[in-house]
Chains A and B, each alone.
Chain A
Amino acid sequence: MRAYPLVVTSLVATGIVAVVAVGCQNQHEANQEAAQKTSLGASSSVQDLMKARNLSEADVEAALKTYVPTGKMDEYYIFASGGQSGNVDVIGVPSMRLLKVIGVFTPESWQGWGFGGESDKILEGGNQGIHKIRWADMHHPNLSETKGDYDGQYLFVNDKANARVAVVDLKDFATKQIVPNPLAASDHGGAFVTPDTDYVIETSQYPAPLGREYAPITDYKAKYRGVAIFWKFDRAKGRIDPSKSWALELPPYTQDLADAGKLGSDGWAYINSFNTEMAVGGTMEGKPPIESGASQNDMDYLHVINWKKAEELVNAGKTKTIAGMRVLTMDVSGPEGVLTLVGEPKSPHGCDVTPDGKMVIVGGKLDTHTTLYDTAKMKDLIAQKKFEGKDDYGIPIMAFKDAIDGQVEIGLGPLHTVFDDKGGAYTSVFIESVVAKWSYTDLKKPVEKLKVHYNIGHILAAEGDTVSPDGKYVVAMNKMSMDRFLPVGPLYPQNFQLVDIAGEKMRLLADMPIANAEPHYSQMIKADKIKAEKVYKSGTNATGEIDPNRVEGGKERVVRNGNKVEVFMTAIRSHFTPDRIEVDEGDDVTIHVTSLEAAEDQTHGFTIDMYNVNVSLEPGKHENLSFKADMPGTYPMYCTEFCSALHLEMTGYFLVKPKKR
Chain B
Amino acid sequence: MASKKHHVHLQIAPPETPARPAWDNRRWLVLALAVAAAGLFAASFFLPWWQFVLYAPQYPNGLTLVISLTGMGGDVHEIDLLNHYIGMKHLADAAPVERHLAGYGVAAIAVTVLAAFTVAGKKLNKLVYVPAVAFPVVFLADSLYWLVTFGHDLDPKAPLHIKAFTPQLFGNGQIGQFETFAHPAAGFWLAVAGVVLALAATLVRTKVCAHCKHAGTCSTICPLLMVLPEKKGPEAS
Which residues of A come within 8 Å of B, CB atoms? Answer: 1-4, 6-7, 10-11, 14, 17, 20-21, 23-25, 27-28, 31, 572-574, 597-599, 601, 645-646, 649
Contact = CB atoms under 8 A, between A and B. Distances in A.
B77 to A, nearest CB: 5
Contacts, number: 65
A7 B183 contact: no
A598 B196 contact: no
A598 B78 contact: yes
Nearest to A31: B179
Contacts of B202: 3, 6
A2 B181 contact: no
B200 interface: yes
A21 B78 contact: no
Nearest to A598: B77
A2 B207 CA distance: 10
A168 B182 CA distance: 43
A606 B195 CA distance: 56
Contact of A3 (B55, B78, B182, B203): B203
A572 B203 contact: no
Given A3-B129, A573-B81, A598-B78, A24 B181 contact: yes
B181 A10 contact: no
Interface string B192-206: 100110011011001
A4 B203 CA distance: 7
Q: Which of B85, B192, B199 has the most CB of A within 10 A?
A: B199
A646 B85 contact: yes
Interface in B127-186: 129, 133, 159, 170-172, 179, 181-184
B81 A572 contact: yes
Contact of A7 (B171, B172, B182, B199): B199
Nearest to A601: B58
B100 interface: no
Given A28-B181, A31-B179, A7 B81 contact: no
A646 B199 contact: no
Contacts of A3: 129, 199, 202-203, 206
Given A20-B170, A27-B172, A28-B179, 11 more contacts: A3-B203, A6-B202, A10-B192, A20-B171, A20-B183, A24-B171, A24-B183, A28-B55, A28-B181, A597-B81, A646-B85
Nearest to B170: A20
A6 B199 contact: yes
22 contacts: A2-B126, A3-B202, A7-B199, A7-B203, A10-B133, A11-B196, A17-B170, A17-B183, A17-B184, A17-B192, A20-B171, A20-B183, A24-B171, A24-B172, A28-B181, A574-B159, A598-B77, A599-B77, A599-B78, A599-B81, A601-B58, A646-B159
A574 B195 CA distance: 46
Q: Which of B75, B77, B179 has the most CB of A within 10 A?
A: B77
A10 B126 contact: no
Contacts of B200: 7
Interface string B3-35: 000000000000000000000000000000000
Contacts of B183: 17, 20-21, 24
Nearest to A597: B81
A599 B77 CA distance: 9
B108 to A, nearest CB: 22
Nearest to B183: A21
Contact of B159 (A6, A14, A21, A649): A649
A24 B54 CA distance: 12
Chain B interface residue number, banded? 20 to 34
Given A24-B183, A598-B78, A599-B78, A10 B196 contact: yes
Nearest to B55: A28
B192 A14 contact: yes
B195 A1 contact: no
A40 B203 CA distance: 63
Contacts of B179: 28, 31
Closest 9 CB pairs of A and B: A21-B183, A24-B181, A3-B202, A3-B203, A7-B199, A599-B78, A598-B77, A24-B172, A20-B171
Interface string B91-129: 000000000000000000000000000000000001001
Given A28-B179, A646-B159, A21 B196 contact: no
A25 B55 CA distance: 11
Given A4-B203, A598-B78, A10 B170 contact: no
B75 A1 contact: no
Interface string B218-229: 000000000000
A20 B78 CA distance: 26
B172 to A, nearest CB: 5
Contact of A6 (B55, B77, B129): B129
A7 B199 CA distance: 6
B200 to A, nearest CB: 6
A24 B174 CA distance: 12
Contact of B196 (A14, A24, A645, A646): A14
Nearest to A1: B206
Contacts of A649: 159
B54 to A, nearest CB: 11
Q: Which of A20, A23, A597 has the most CB of B within 10 A?
A: A20
Nearest to A25: B181
B55 to A, nearest CB: 6
Contacts of A573: 81, 85
A7 B78 contact: no
Contact of B184 (A7, A21, A28): A21
B75 A599 contact: yes
Nearest to A13: B192
A14 B182 CA distance: 15
Contacts of A21: 183-184
Contacts of B159: 574, 646, 649
A513 B38 CA distance: 69
A24 B77 CA distance: 24
A10 B172 CA distance: 23
Interface in B22-63: 55, 58
Contact of B195 (A10, A28, A646): A10
B199 A10 contact: yes
Contacts of A599: 75, 77-78, 81
B64 to A, nearest CB: 12
Contacts of B192: 10, 14, 17
Contacts of B126: 2
A3 B171 CA distance: 29
A2 B206 contact: yes
A328 B81 CA distance: 59
Nearest to B193: A14
Nearest to A20: B171
Nearest to A27: B172
